[in-house]
Structure 1
Amino acid sequence: MFENLLNISDAAKLLGVSPSTLRRMEKTGNIEEYGLKVIYTPGGQRRYILDEVQQLFSNQGFSGQIGFGTKPALLIRDFTIAFTEPHSQLAIKMDHQITATQQLIEQALNDKIPIIFSKTIYETENKVSRLWCEKFPSLQILDRESTWVNIHPDLSDYPYDLINATVYISSLYDDQVDDFLKDRQIDTLILAGTTTSGSIRATAVDALQRGYRVIIPKEAVGDRNQTLQNSTLVDLNARYADVMNLDKVLKGMKP
């Protein structure tokens, strides 16, 4: 039950206040006026509900809603064997992300929305790839010819409009993806995949800077632990994207 909760430090940082302020608000009984509840773990640690912290951002003017445009595309990043196989060095914490992504793909196919699959590869001759690998050595397993970069079996048989292998953190750094979107006059990018704090975040920032509306269905992205996942989603929603539940995204994809 504690997976979608933030600790007091993360909640305070995202709200722009100090942990002592949250403790004081709780002591005086004022914290519920802001729509926040305090939950205690069996060990007595304070936790705050992710959705409530995210809602407080919106209610207090910390973030607005961009919403859908008229021409969306779905971009899936790194739901490959390397990031989804539990024994992999790069594995994320898996819940229902693959099932959620399947629903997004089915909706996109039904509504003729373009679908891109972008996957990280490691190339020894590429300077950027080598540099990223110095910081993150586990990337060395992502050789272009290895089975680690194969698409997850439950997603591999879909007819993608573009499969993009990239050495870059942002999927839009490659002209191939950006040109694909521009050629189709795409104005909204729906992001699924991993990692939320890595390539998803980088792609969201890059997409916004290039003029795309960014939508992130929270059930369809993943990271290596729930705390990192939660704090990144709140920050993305506050700054660069609309983070929504899956049902709302599926409805927004319909013409």
Structure 2
Amino acid sequence: MSDDLLVNYERAYGTRVGFGTRPALILIDFVQAYFEPGCDLYAGVEDALASALRVREAATRASIPVILTRVQYHPLALDGGRFFEKARPLRYFLEGSPMGAWPRGLEPRAEELVLSKQYPSAFFGTSLASTLTALGIDSVLLTGLTTSGCVRATCIDAMSHGFRTSVVGDACGDRHPGPHEANLFDMNAKYADVVTEAEAIEFLGSLEAP
């Protein structure tokens, strides 16, 4: 990207909205398919998961809600719609597939909410927005897979629902650095603040009870 384009974007979109005061952490679609070398969806995103797990621990210490999402379909894909028709690798997310299992280290905890979805955004066709509103949440921190797909879709919907949105760039991953970096850049310009793992953990640490 040329310096002229960076200056152009900074002038047009250089606003930060901040973290908010009552956040929730969302871990988007960290499932085995992205970590299994023989799977079409393999992305080699172990570093992103490790980062997300560290942010999760900080969120737990701060006693903020933690939500895990996954894509899951009826065994006959009756609820797959056009997304399932278009994206062939979604067959790995039919109910019962081992590729839809949680990777090691991300087993849901009793105090965490697990949300199943059928489309890219964690908000579309789910109770997520109403659940966050009922909990008094004003902001979300997003981590997950993939940056160019479900993370981006969830980011746009989070902003559209009125939540201050932060994307933890270190805790997101994609199959190629090009889409990953381009989508982080675009989300930071228009929809959210893209922050580092260190920034997210520092913020969550400020919420811990003295």
TM-score (structure 1 length as normaliser): 0.75
1 or 2 for the larger relative contact order (CA 8 Å, sep ≥6)?
Answer: 2
Label 1:132 to 1:97 Cα distance change in 2 as closer, same or farther (>3 A). same
Q: Any runs of at least 4 consecutive aligned residues in structure 1 with deviations exceeding 6 A, and if so which? A: none
Structure 1 partner of 2:9: 57
Which stretches in structure 1 are left out of the alignment for 5+ residues? 1-10, 12-21, 23-30, 37-52
Give the letter aligned to residue 22 of structure 2.
K
Give the letter aligned to residue 41 of structure 2.
L
Which one of 106, 122, 137 corresponds to residue 88 of structure 2? 137
Structure 2 partner of 1:41: none
Q: Does 1:246 align with 2:210?
A: no
Structure 1 partner of 2:154: 203
Label 1:180 to 1:105 Cα distance change in 2 as closer, same or farther (>3 A). same
Please give the residue correspondences for 1:28-67 in structure 2 after superposition, counting only pairs within 5 Å. Answer: 53=6, 57-58=9-10, 60-67=11-18
Offset at residue 180 of structure 1 (A): 1.6
Offset at residue 116 of structure 1 (A): 0.3
| Preserved CA contact (<8 Å) 1:117 1:160 | no
| Preserved CA contact (<8 Å) 1:197 1:223 | yes
1: CA distance, partners of 2:95 / 2:46:
27
2: CA distance, partners of 1:56 / 1:102:
35
Offset at residue 130 of structure 1 (A): 3.3
Which stretches in structure 2 are left out of the alignment for 5+ residues? none
| Preserved CA contact (<8 Å) 2:34 2:45 | no
* Corresponding residue pairs, total: 204
Label 1:148 to 1:210 Cα distance change in 2 as closer, same or farther (>3 A). same
1: CA distance, partners of 2:24 / 2:87:
30
Structure 2 partner of 1:125: 78
| Preserved CA contact (<8 Å) 1:71 1:186 | yes
Q: Does 1:71 align with 2:28?
A: no
Secondary structure at the aligned position of 2:13 is classed as coil
Identity %, equivalent residues: 27
Label 1:91 to 1:189 Cα distance change in 2 as closer, same or farther (>3 A). same
Which one of 104, 116, 120 corresponds to residue 55 of structure 2? 104
C-alpha RMSD of the superposition: 1.9
Structure 2 partner of 1:43: none
2: CA distance, partners of 1:110 / 1:56:
40
Structure 2 partner of 1:45: none
1: CA distance, partners of 2:150 / 2:108:
23
Structure 1 partner of 2:101: 150
Offset at residue 159 of structure 1 (A): 4.0
Give the letter aligned to residue 190 of structure 2.
R
Q: Does 1:235 align with 2:186?
A: yes
Offset at residue 135 of structure 1 (A): 1.1
Give the letter aligned to residue 121 of structure 2.
S
2: CA distance, partners of 1:160 / 1:232:
31
Label 1:212 to 1:158 Cα distance change in 2 as closer, same or farther (>3 A). same
Secondary structure at the aligned position of 1:185 is classed as coil
Which one of 141, 160, 168 corresponds to residue 119 of structure 2? 168
Structure 1 partner of 2:139: 188
2: CA distance, partners of 1:223 / 1:160:
28
